[in-house]
Structure 1
Amino acid sequence: MPAKSTHISELALELGLAMSEMKSRLRQKIQSKINEYDSDLSFELIEILGLLSRNNGINQQEIGTQVSKDKSSITYLINNLVKRELVERIENENDRRNKQIFLTSKGQQTIEAIYPLALELYEKAAGDLHKDEINKALILVRKMTANLE
């Protein structure tokens, strides 16, 4: 009896579910590492600090787009980070309504302590995969994401 052929949409669905499961497991494990460092910090807060460590000075809208959160959620999270003195809002010189978000030295120290712990988990997830395999998967996922634009 011939093997049942799988339609491309079913394969794409399986890939999406597998990526979602991986993200969920990584998130749980990263949150566990964060709790060892500071039990008051959440994955979402660290995600924003990590983004700012790579793109310091972007605005709230850009942060929301990058971490897939709506405007009110981002405002709440950034207010939380400001209150903890991990980030600061600075008015854009050209547009005072546009505030840029910058890491404080305390925020930089926090991400420097937690980022290596997260990288260890990503390394564990990569296991014995070769860089080329991960690059191909990255290209594939970015292509599929672009198809939804």
Structure 2
Amino acid sequence: MSDEEKKARLRLREFLPYRLSVLSNTVSRGIANLYDREFGLTIWQWRVMAVTGDTPGISATDIGQRTAMDKVAVSRAVAGLIELGYMERKTSESDGRRSQLFLTPAGQDIYEMIVPIALEAERKLMAPLTSEEQAELSRLMQKLAGSASPERPLW
């Protein structure tokens, strides 16, 4: 066997990071099309809304850490949501240098309309798996998350 033949080959179709990325992008795009078409939100705006709806008063920095979004993407999404009237920024009472993000009543209404759509999309995605397979998938994802980010939990 020549040195050339001994070299490892990367077959993307079998490479887990590639497969996870393509799957994640495909799933996210499918769901994003739903809330873009119905509500005019980008995938980044919805992610920011989802985290803020789940954790009112969160900071933009914390949103970035929870979603693995970079600062620029978070900043643009927040600015867009504020412009749409779905989000507001308030100065923290405990630390005047820190700002907190909250959904406005209009933002809360949109959030409450999208959540069932997102949950239904998740249900449809998971439908081909048995309950045992779903539990196993969750366990394996947790294990991979721990391996990918041993210093802090991803979720």
The alignment yields a C-alpha RMSD, in angstroms, of 1.9
Tell me the residue number matched to 1:24. 25
Deviation at residue 86 of structure 1 after TM alignment: 0.7
Tell me the residue number matched to 1:3. none
Tell me the residue number matched to 1:128. 128
Moved more, 29-38 or 108-117: 29-38
Q: Which amino acid aligns with 2:70?
A: D
Query: TM-score scaled to structure 2, two decimals?
Result: 0.78
Q: 1:89 aligns to what SS in structure 2?
A: strand
Identity rate, percent: 24
Q: Which amino acid aligns with 2:74?
A: I
Moved more, 86-95 or 129-138: 129-138
Runs of 4+ in 1 over 3 A off after TM superposition: 13-18
Structure 2, unmatched stretches of 5+, are 1-10, 151-155
Residues 70-112 of structure 1: CA deviation (Å, up to 9, x unaligned): 2222122111111111111111111111111111111111111
Tell me the residue number matched to 2:49. 49
Instruction: Measure, in 2, the Cα distance between the counterparts of 1:14 and 1:137.
Output: 18
Q: 1:93 aligns to what SS in structure 2?
A: coil
On the 8 A contact 1:30/1:121 being kept in 2, the answer is yes
Instruction: Measure, in 2, the Cα distance between the counterparts of 1:121 and 1:90.
Output: 33
Instruction: Measure, in 1, the Cα distance between the counterparts of 2:132 and 2:92.
Output: 41
Deviation at residue 42 of structure 1 after TM alignment: 0.6
Map 1:1-149 onto structure 2 (within 5 A).
14-38=15-39, 40-148=40-148, 149=150
The alignment covers a number of residue pairs equal to: 137
Instruction: Measure, in 1, the Cα distance between the counterparts of 2:59 and 2:117.
Output: 27
Query: TM-score scaled to structure 1, two decimals?
Result: 0.81
